[in-house]
């Protein structure tokens, strides 16, 4: 138990004062039951901070505050909201070192990837600051001629956001920025594994002048203590990023109260290499799409589906690129690939790879033996950290478990196909549809292939697709709704129609 509501950290030469309490009504507070939980350094398995844990009572208090704050915030001037969002963008960029180091410390991710997330996550504040000041309705003549049709865009109301551990900054900014722009107050629950980044961001929202009670943060060791708010009639919006199973369960709960819901759920992204692809370009795109955050990314390539004519060259290229990754603590500036976020995640990846080998896949790099001998080849690593080596599997078949489960680790599982038609069939043969990738030399054919992929987002001859100015989301069991782009603010707005007779 700790009575402190802040912790002081010094990581990679960067000094940090990080909140560890609950943000309720603009004040940092302990949880009402006095309970805490530890945040671990993924590179050592050791505790780095003790965070206060919210209870159901705390969630109810947050909802009381949100309900009381919504009307005033919803009626605030669009320019006021825009200027606060712009200030938030500036503060995020001003504190990019602190935010990047903090993410790498609690998540284990390499610093280059964390700096990339700061730029990406901060951009949502800038983008939606511009959308806040451009909210528009409509005025038109009814078909009969005498009437008028007027529409306005109103804030949905209090929102609850539940975010995952793998993007502790961008997953909240992608939800918070459009909510604030639309005039919605928000209660957010960060992931138990990585709450510190959101808590640090919450302090920045106070520094930016966001009114008390508009944004509240509830870290907790029991997610049910916060998801109980789905039973509250005052909650009008629910946004979730995480596993399909949990998302569907919570969405069903939200449906009982007809709560507006948006979900970004699991993926099984295909990365297709057509027979006419520029293989060197495809290899670069493959590494980009697979290895950001050591593969712990929802839109990471999960199934590499490669035409026979270029498969051998592609496999050689991927193996050589994977060998170049420097494994180490995320906060070490030499590191380009950090550990898994937790022991559970590391073990899941190891089990998927082992099962694939048992089913007949060939280990071209890493794998079970590489994992077993990791501390022989890397004696500098702390054996209590959650390490797994960069791995390449060839000879993978569509029926293997690894081709049907989200890997969420640094593992490239490569399948070969004999035609582009077979590639498309395999790519779409999944219940998921978040992201996909296709590489081809003939842009017309590649674009046609992209249009036939059953996913919400496609990268053509590129491995990076995330963009705050573009709509992010999936189809099938990968979710519903869109975040970012012009569409993102609509998730937090209701259209009101007013009929006039003249």
pLDDT tens track for 47-91: 999 999 999 999 999 999 999 999 999 999 999 999 999 999 999
pLDDT at residue 24 is higher than 90: yes
**Measured distance CA(439)–CA(387) in Å, rounded:** 31
If one looks up domain 10-265+485-500 in CATH, what number appears? 3.40.605.10
Residues whose CB is less than 8 angstroms from the CB of residue 143 and which lie 6 or more positions away in sequence, other chains included: none
Inter-axis angle of helices 170-182 and 111-132, to 10 degrees?
10
Give the single-character DSSP code of 460: E
Return the beta strands (E) in 333-410 as ranges.
362-365, 391-394
Q: Would you say 187 and 134 are in contact if contact means Cβ atoms under 8 Å apart?
A: no
Residues in Cβ contact with 398 at an 8 Å cutoff, skipping those fewer than 6 apart: 415, 426, 429
Q: Model confidence over 95-153: pLDDT tens digits?
A: 999 999 999 999 999 999 999 999 999 999 999 999 999 999 999 999 999 899 999 99
Helices (H) and strands (E) counted in the chain, each on its own, are 15, 24
pLDDT at residue number 3 = 60
pLDDT in tens, 321-335: 999 999 999 999 999
Residue with tokens 């296709």: 438
Instruction: Answer whether 161's CB lies under 8 Å from 175's CB.
Output: yes
Distance separating alpha carbons of residues 422 and 398, to the nearest angstrom: 11
Reply yes or no on whether the pLDDT at 2 is more than 60. Answer: no
Q: Does domain 270-460 have CATH number 3.40.309.10?
A: yes
Give 338-371 pLDDT, tens digit per residue. Answer: 999 999 999 999 999 999 999 999 999 999 999 9
Q: What is the pTM of this model?
A: 0.96
Fold identical between 10-265+485-500 and 270-460? no
Q: Which residues, 6 or more positions from 90, have their beta carbon under 8 angstroms from its beta carbon?
A: none
- Tokens encoding 374: 């990791």
pLDDT of residue 221: 97
Contact 428, 417 (CB under 8 A): no
List, for residues 146-186, the tens digit of each pLDDT value: 899 999 999 999 999 999 999 999 999 999 999 999 999 99
C-alpha 431/C-alpha 449 separation (Å) is: 19
User: Do residues 328 and 335 touch, judged by C-beta distance below 8 A?
Assistant: yes
> What torsion do the CA atoms of 172, 258, 185, 73 make, to the nearest 10 degrees?
150
Domain ranges of the chain: 10-265+485-500, 270-460
* 7's tokens: 């912790």
Give a three-class secondary structure readout of 300-343. Answer: CEEEEEEEHHHHHHHHHHHHHHHHCCCECCCCCCCCCECCCCCH
180 SS3 class: helix
CB 335 within 8 A of CB 107: no
Tokens of 265: 């759920």
Q: What percent of the chain has pLDDT over 90?
A: 99
Q: What are phi and psi of 202, to 5 degrees?
A: -60, -35
Residues assigned a catalytic role: 264
pLDDT value at residue 1: 39
Pairing of strands 479-480, 260-264: antiparallel
3-state secondary structure of 394: strand
Alpha helix positions (H), 95-243? 96-107, 111-132, 170-182, 196-207, 224-227
pLDDT tens digit sequence for 481-499 = 999 999 999 999 999 999 9
Name the burial class of residue 385, with classes exposed (0-12), middle (13-18) and buried (19+) by CB atoms within 10 angstroms of its CB: buried
Dihedral sign for Cα atoms in the order 208, 213, 216, 220: positive
**C-alpha span between 227 and 133 (Å, rounded):** 32
Mean pLDDT of the chain: 97
């Amino acid at each position: 138990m700790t009575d402190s509501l802040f912790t002081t950290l010094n990581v990679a030469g960067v000094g940090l004062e990080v909140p560890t309490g609950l943000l309720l009504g603009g004040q940092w507070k302990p949880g009402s039951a006095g309970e805490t939980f530890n945040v671990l350094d993924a590179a050592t398995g050791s505790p780095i901070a003790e965070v206060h844990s919210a209870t159901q009572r705390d969630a109810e208090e947050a909802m009381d505050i949100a309900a009381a704050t919504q009307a005033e915030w919803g009626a605030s001037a669009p320019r006021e909201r825009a200027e606060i969002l712009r200030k938030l963008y500036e503060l995020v960029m001003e504190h990019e070192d602190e935010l990047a180091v903090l993410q790498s410390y609690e998540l284990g991710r390499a610093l280059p990837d964390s700096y990339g997330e700061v730029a990406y996550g901060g951009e949502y504040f800038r983008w939606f600051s511009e959308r806040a000041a451009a909210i528009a309705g409509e005025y038109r003549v009814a078909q009969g001629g005498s009437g008028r049709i007027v529409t306005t865009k109103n804030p949905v109301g209090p929102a609850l956001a539940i975010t995952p551990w793998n993007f502790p900054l961008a997953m909240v900014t992608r939800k918070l920025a459009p909510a604030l722009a639309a005039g919605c107050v928000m209660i957010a629950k960060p992931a138990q594994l990585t709450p510190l980044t959101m808590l640090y961001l919450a302090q920045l929202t106070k520094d930016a002048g966001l009114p008390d009670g508009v944004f509240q943060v509830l870290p907790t060791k029991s997610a049910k203590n916060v998801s109980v708010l789905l039973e509250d009639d005052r909650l009008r919006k629910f946004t979730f990023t995480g596993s399909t199973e949990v998302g569907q369960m919570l969405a069903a709960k939200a449906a009982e109260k007809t709560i507006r819901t948006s979900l970004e759920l699991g993926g099984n992204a295909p990365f297709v290499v057509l027979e006419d692809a520029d293989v060197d370009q495809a290899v670069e795109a493959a590494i980009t799409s697979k290895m950001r955050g050591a593969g712990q990314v929802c839109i990471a390539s999960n199934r590499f589906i490669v035409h026979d004519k270029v498969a051998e060259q592609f496999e050689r290229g991927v193996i050589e690129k994977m060998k170049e990754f420097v494994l180490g603590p995320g906060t070490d500036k030499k590191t380009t690939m950090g550990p898994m976020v937790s022991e559970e995640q590391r073990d899941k990846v190891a089990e998927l790879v082992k099962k694939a080998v048992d089913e007949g896949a060939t280990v071209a790099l890493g794998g079970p033996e590489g994992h077993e001998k990791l501390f022989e080849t890397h004696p500098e690593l702390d054996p209590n950290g959650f390490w797994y080596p960069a791995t390449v599997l060839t000879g993978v078949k569509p029926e293997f478990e690894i081709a049907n489960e989200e890997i969420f680790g640094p593992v490239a599982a490569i399948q070969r196909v004999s035609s582009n038609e077979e590639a498309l069939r395999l790519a779409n043969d999944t219940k998921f549809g978040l992201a996909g990738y296709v590489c081809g030399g003939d842009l017309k054919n590649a674009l046609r292939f992209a249009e036939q992929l059953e996913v919400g987002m496609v990268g053509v001859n590129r491995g990076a697709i995330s963009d705050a100015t573009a709509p992010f989301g999936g189809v099938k069991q990968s979710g519903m709704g869109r975040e970012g782009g012009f569409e993102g603010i609509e998730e937090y707005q209701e259209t009101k129609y007013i009929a006039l007779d003249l």
